[in-house]
Amino acid sequence: MNLYAIFAIYILFWVISAFITLPFGIRTPDETGERLVKGQADSAPSNFRPGVVALRATLLSGLLFGLYYANYVQGWVTLDMLPGYSR
């Protein structure tokens, strides 16, 4: 696997991890006791912290990519092992 493929696959894992970790820790104005601004949706987050989301996504994607790469090198699960897949 070349360096460009490693980078591209890691970015895919990072984006997926960012969407997975995005809703954790978010509070609505009803939960925090803040008043809504005119035109604001009731479900809009009042404490969104993109740095925390990026950190969580980086940690999760590092773990997932590490597992993916270890499987690529070690061959724990291959396409031939998947049921219903034939070449």
Q: What's the pLDDT tens digit per position in 58-86?
A: 999 999 999 999 999 999 999 888 898 87
pLDDT at 73: 96
| In-domain check, residue 73 | yes
Write out the two tokens for 29. 């104005």
| In-domain check, residue 33 | yes
How far is 44 from 69, CA to CA, in rounded Å?
A: 37
φ, ψ (nearest 5 deg) of residue 78: -115, 170
| In-domain check, residue 86 | no
Identify the domain containing residue 19 by its residue range. 3-81
What percent of the chain shows pLDDT beyond 70? Answer: 99
Assessment of whether the complete model's pTM goes beyond 0.95: no
| In-domain check, residue 37 | yes
